[in-house]
A = this chain, B = another copy of it.
Amino acid sequence: MAQKNKLQFIILGLLDQQPLTGYDLTKAFDHEIGEFWQAQHSQIYPQLKRLEEQGYITHEITISGEKLEKKLYHTTPTGQAVLTTWITAGTPELTATKDEFILKLYFVRTNRDPRLPEMLLEQLQLHVDKSEHLQARLATVFPTKKSQAENFGHYLILQHAIGRENYYVTWLKQTLAALPK
């Protein structure tokens, strides 16, 4: 049976690496994690509550400045076991993509459609930008072989995301080049 509520495992995984606040978790979804999963703080805070109720995580309160309370969450041994089970279990279902642009293309019936070049060029720009942005991050976050080895999973997914964007760019260029003059 397919595991559901993946968000709980992602949060568990992040908290297992280091204690974090709900705010920190929210930010994590803006960067590398966000390439492969998205969540807003309105989903994260209630999920933290549920994970704590289940005994998978706990928190301690720290004070920032005069009175701003931060809840630093971390995993419990139970939570760590649940996380390991999730990672170790197979992942036999390929999560399907949602790509609005590709769908628009689907409804373009001929390669002579005058809208095609413009549509493809817009996406080309977007994916080139994204690839460059990710490459800059890779260079910043993982400048050395050592840093890559120390956070191997993180390095892998960044590298995967870049490759994916590069494939998209290649495909767009190729498709543009194949259009009739």
Contact = CB atoms under 8 A, between A and B. Distances in A.
Interface stretch (A51-59, A61-69, A86-94, A136-144): A86-94
B167 A163 contact: yes
Given A13-B103, A115-B88, A122-B92, A98 B36 contact: yes
A157 interface: yes
Interface string A74-103: 000000000100111011111111111111
Interface stretch (A19-27, A40-48, A145-153): A145-153
B95 A36 contact: no
A109 B153 contact: yes
Interface of A: 6, 9-10, 13, 16-17, 32-38, 83, 86-88, 90-111, 113, 115, 119, 122-123, 126-127, 130, 149-154, 156-157, 160, 163-164, 167, 170-171, 175
A17 B88 CA distance: 45
Residue among A86, A105, A115, A150 with max Cβ neighbours from chain B (10 Å)? A105
A49 B26 CA distance: 37
Contacts of A36: 96-99, 102-103, 106
B163 A109 contact: no
